[in-house]
Amino acid sequence: MFVRRLLVLGNLAISAVAQKFSNPIIYSDYPDNDVSVGPDGAFYFSASNFHYSPGAPILRSLDLVNWEPVGHSVPRLNFGAGYDLPTTGERSYRGGTWASSLRYRKSNKTWYWIGCVNFWQTWVYTASSPEGPWSNRANFGDNNCFYDNGILIDDDNTMYVVYGSGQVKVSQLAADGLSVVKTQDVFNAANVGVDSIEGNRMYKINGTYYVLNDKPGGTTFIWKSKSPWGPYQVKELVKDVKSPVEGGNSPHQGSLIQTADGKWYFMSFTWAYPSGRLPVLAPITWGSDGFPVFVNGDNGGWGKTYPLPLPAKSAKPLTGTYRFEGSSLGPTFEWNHNPDTSKFFVNNGLTLQTASNTTDIYSARNTLTHRVFGEYPVGTLELDFTAMADGDRTGLAAFRDRSAYIGIHREGNAYTIAAVHNMTIDETAGNTLDFGRTVGTAQLRQGVRKIWLRTKMDVRPNGSREASFLYSYDGNTYTQLGATYKLFDSWGFFLGYRFGIFNFATKGLGGSVKVNSFTSA
């Protein structure tokens, strides 16, 4: 019991008594995984994070079940002006990193990240360690999008990349991995009677080349060939499998992983908004025909539990309190678009100077986000707003393409605690549809310049999907402000809700706030 409780505290996915793990392995939004093994024998998980900066988060695990964020492959989204939220109004919602690939190359001890980024160029970043520093090394030019790509480093050290949506292609890269030397069509979505394919991954297993990919929605395909260039034979690996998460969709895209003792796993994810796309893991076995076979769980679908792949090895907890010690932010934080680095400071607290003069939270720079973890995430901000300027708005949001927040508004010498709902952008085009409505206000107590703000959510796809917003003068007793807000569960924005810590001006720059602590629970 004692052992079990300790492990449960460390990571909810583990149940040590039964020696099983639970899906999702991380109840958080880490989509489009590419999982591979590093030189240290640990597993590395690369994910998409679109318009959040830094881009392409990396997690590490020793047991495939307990994961901790360690860095990002793209330090800054240098892909166009829109990624900086300029005053001219360009924005890059849903741009940035998606369905990219990460691999370690033994021959020169280098990690490669390759991704097609809007607008349709393929970028290569390298690093000698997943923690970084990462740097941009190449761009494959216009009209050369490696759509949903997967890197393979062959036994003879040749680098291949598989990619494509309708027509799937394989490219061979130059010896340094920084340019393309040969490209060939290998198969087409029409070969399996579908309109499009996504999530390409390439492996070499016992001398045979495999491509894993899927039809958007619910079917995983596995292709095999004696040559990277084909011809490929194909089978379905998974079709419309029941999700381990109530209200989640059928997992179908992801990675194949081998453990050191020779067992195989499929890491996929279930679309489960408003939370996001949650990683799920299942074992696979191999048939005598050389194709993998999915192992159903007790539920007849993607199991809610399976035996642990390896002895449990704890990882740093995914939730906790940050007091912003040191001088930089850890890898669990990501900015909405690139931050203005001259407008924030980490030094026993996080100082956020206003970086934009706007009434649109989606155009405001320097909103710091943190993923929500679990079914009922709670975020708490301890905020000192002594240095706020007239017109400034600061607070804590449930942040997505439809957002709501609790915050402080200053108008002249009046400070108001406000709950604001329904700030909305179009989920695909990204233009603002609604600037939000104030649904509750409270007069701040005389002379008070410090407050705790809290956002509580039920992000289960089949749950209440309600968020509530609360404030406290002492960090103990909280008062709800405004009615609950219904979280949006559409998938078109591709990302789930996050906590968003913001501070923007509506009259002029110059003000600031200090975040003494932020707790993600």
Ligand X SMILES: *[C@@H]1O[C@H](CO)[C@@H](O)[C@H](O)[C@H]1NC(C)=O
The residues that touch ligand X, with contacts defined as CB under 6 A, are: 108-110, 126, 137, 176-178, 205-206, 246, 286, 357, 422, 424, 433-434, 437, 462-463, 507-508
Extract the tokens encoding 515: 């975040």
- Cβ at position 442, least distance to ligand X in Å: 21
CA 83 to chain centre: 17
Helix (H, G, I), strand (E, B) or coil at 8: helix
- Cβ at position 267, least distance to ligand X in Å: 16
* β-pairing verdict for 135-139 and 150-153: unpaired
Which is nearer to ligand X, 320 or 508 (by Cβ)? Answer: 508
CB-CB contact of 445 with 438 (8 Å)? no
Q: Which residues, listed in sequence order, are joined to residue 43 by a DSSP beta bridge?
A: 37, 61
CB-CB contact of 323 with 329 (8 Å)? no
Which is nearer to ligand X, 116 or 420 (by Cβ)? Answer: 420
CB-CB contact of 183 with 163 (8 Å)? no
- Cβ at position 178, least distance to ligand X in Å: 5
How far apart (Å, rounded) are the C-alpha atoms in residues 197 and 493?
Answer: 19
- Cβ at position 330, least distance to ligand X in Å: 27
Which is nearer to ligand X, 195 or 246 (by Cβ)? Answer: 246
Which is nearer to ligand X, 202 or 451 (by Cβ)? Answer: 202
- Cβ at position 113, least distance to ligand X in Å: 12
If phi > 0 it is left, if psi is from -120 to 50 it is alpha, else beta; for residue 171 that is: beta
CB-CB contact of 82 with 325 (8 Å)? no
CB-CB contact of 196 with 189 (8 Å)? yes
- Cβ at position 80, least distance to ligand X in Å: 24
Which is nearer to ligand X, 16 or 205 (by Cβ)? Answer: 205
Which is nearer to ligand X, 110 or 158 (by Cβ)? Answer: 110
Residues 6+ apart with CB under 8 A from 86: none
CB-CB contact of 51 with 83 (8 Å)? yes
Which is nearer to ligand X, 9 or 433 (by Cβ)? Answer: 433
Which is nearer to ligand X, 136 or 165 (by Cβ)? Answer: 136
Cis preceding-peptide flag for 24 (omega within 30 of 0): yes
- Cβ at position 451, least distance to ligand X in Å: 25
The Cα-based distances of 496 to 101, 399, 443 in angstroms read: 21, 8, 32
Q: Looking at this protein, which amino acid is placed at residue 392?
A: D
Which is nearer to ligand X, 206 or 327 (by Cβ)? Answer: 206
- Cβ at position 288, least distance to ligand X in Å: 10
How far apart (Å, rounded) are the C-alpha atoms in residues 305 and 307?
Answer: 7
Extract the tokens encoding 456: 């509580």
How far apart (Å, rounded) are the C-alpha atoms in residues 251 and 270?
Answer: 5
Which is nearer to ligand X, 210 or 269 (by Cβ)? Answer: 210
Residues 6+ apart with CB under 8 A from 303: 23, 244, 282, 295, 296, 297
- Cβ at position 414, least distance to ligand X in Å: 18
- Cβ at position 246, least distance to ligand X in Å: 3
Cis preceding-peptide flag for 54 (omega within 30 of 0): yes
- Cβ at position 20, least distance to ligand X in Å: 18
Q: Which residues, listed in sequence order, are joined to residue 477 by a DSSP beta bridge?
A: none
Extract the tokens encoding 501: 């810590």
CA 470 to chain centre: 26
Which is nearer to ligand X, 141 or 510 (by Cβ)? Answer: 510
